[in-house]
């Protein structure tokens, strides 16, 4: 597919600087641009590439001030990153869509499958499951008994959804993620650990995206809930009875222990760990590798460190920590001077 700068600008409501008839037929990074490529610039660190890129068209923010002449055609938009995402969505929507049910898949007779669905090879749809319209279920997906999957949701290869769980509309679950595995519940006793049955489920609301190899445990009683618009990166563990608020982001290799309640628009950065039975206030930002052991009650808090606490205080501590060798040397020197003074006084 080929698009002119004018077509792209009309779609994005942008302003063309250069040739409106310039054509593109591929997407590229600005630092690796080539003729016929469309790139974007939103991070100021990459501005230097704008003046050397071979890309034909580059999306830039309206407020960008050029320091040199450029050879490419520019399209000024309100937000280059968002505009680029819109173009990618448009491009993806034009690609051929998979439909139909593979002969070697299994759909139980009591299951209900909506219109326009794709069910790939060796996928299994359990008894009384309900699959909405235009759902894509790729090969080797397991959808358990009484599971509900909403319209326009995509389950990539190897996704497993255990019985009674619910997935909303317009969701994406990437390869090999597991929804509804047993929560880690055991009662210690003299004979060892007795398993506590996990009889709840997982509810994933609309517009949620789950990365690959994510584990979301079913509740012991009630539901583990991911509210609307939540985005979960790869290799994340979400334990039983956790509740995650709307439009929260959980980044790779993070773990959230049981019964913790995470608010709306929270950011949990990579490898962060949250203990169980705490509450995280709305719009909190938890830094990478932070260990959160207490509830966060102030909206918009920013936490770093392990144990995690206020970012400003953590930065002060980090500065002192870096100076410890210097401070240690000074203390040793002061001790020696003090001993020398004691000897002089004693004499």
> Residue 111: what pLDDT?
98
> Cα torsion for 330, 335, 338, 344, to the nearest 10°?
-120
> Residue 187: what pLDDT?
93
In this structure, how many other beta carbons lie within 10 angstroms of the beta carbon of residue 278? 18
Which fold does the domain 3-94 belong to in CATH?
3.40.1390
Residue 191 tokens, joined? 């004979």
**CA 58/CA 4 separation, integer angstroms:** 12
Short-list 91, 70, 162, CA closest to 124 = 162
> Residue 92: what pLDDT?
82
- Domains of the chain, by residue range, sit at 3-94, 100-312, 317-346
Domain covering 100-312 assigned CATH 2.160.10.10 in the classification: yes
Q: Tens of pLDDT along 119-155?
A: 999 999 999 999 999 999 999 999 999 999 999 999 9
> Residue 347: what pLDDT?
56
pTM of the model: 0.84
- E strands present in 98-210: 100-101, 106-107, 112-113, 118-119, 124-125, 130-131, 136-137, 142-143, 148-149, 154-155, 160-161, 166-167, 172-173, 178-181, 186-189, 192-195, 201-204, 209-210
> Residue 340: what pLDDT?
84
Catalytic residue chosen out of the listed positions 227, 240, 247, 277: 240
Verify whether residue 240 is a known catalytic residue: yes
Ranges of the chain whose pLDDT falls below 70: 309, 347
**CA 27/CA 204 separation, integer angstroms:** 32
| Residues β-bridged to residue 124 | 106, 142
């Amino acid at each position: 597919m080929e698009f002119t700068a004018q077509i792209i600008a009309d779609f994005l409501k942008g302003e063309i600087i250069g040739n409106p008839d310039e054509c593109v037929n591929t997407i590229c990074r600005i630092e690796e641009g080539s003729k016929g490529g469309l790139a974007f610039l939103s991070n100021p660190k990459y501005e230097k590439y704008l003046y050397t890129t071979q890309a034909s068209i580059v999306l830039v923010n309206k407020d960008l001030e050029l320091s040199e002449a450029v050879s490419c055609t520019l399209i000024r938009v309100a937000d280059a990153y968002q505009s680029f995402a819109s173009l990618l969505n448009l491009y993806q929507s034009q690609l051929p869509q998979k439909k139909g049910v593979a002969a070697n898949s299994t759909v139980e007779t009591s299951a209900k499958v909506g219109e326009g669905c794709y069910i790939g090879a060796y996928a299994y749809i359990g008894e009384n499951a309900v699959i909405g319209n235009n759902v894509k279920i790729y090969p080797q997906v397991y959808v358990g008994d009484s599971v509900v999957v909403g319209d326009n949701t995509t389950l990539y290869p190897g996704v497993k959804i255990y019985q009674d769980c619910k997935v909303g509309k317009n969701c994406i679950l990437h390869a090999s993620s597991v929804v509804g595995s047993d929560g880690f519940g055991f009662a210690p006793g003299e004979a060892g650990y007795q398993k506590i049955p996990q009889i709840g489920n997982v509810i994933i609301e609309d517009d949620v995206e789950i990365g690959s190899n994510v584990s979301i445990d079913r509740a012991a009683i009630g539901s583990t809930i991911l509210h609307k618009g939540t985005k979960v990166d790869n290799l994340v563990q979400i334990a039983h009875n956790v509740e995650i608020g709307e439009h929260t982001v959980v980044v790779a290799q993070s773990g959230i222990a049981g019964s913790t309640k995470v608010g709306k628009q929270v950011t949990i950065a990579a490898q962060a760990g949250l203990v169980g039975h705490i509450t995280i206030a709305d719009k909190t930002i938890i830094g990478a590798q932070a260990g959160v052991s207490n509830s966060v009650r102030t909206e918009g808090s920013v936490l770093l460190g392990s144990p995690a606490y206020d970012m400003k205080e953590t930065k002060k501590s980090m500065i002192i920590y870096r100076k410890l060798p210097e401070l240690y040397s000074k203390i040793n020197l002061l001790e020696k001077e003090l001993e020398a003074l004691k000897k002089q006084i004693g004499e």
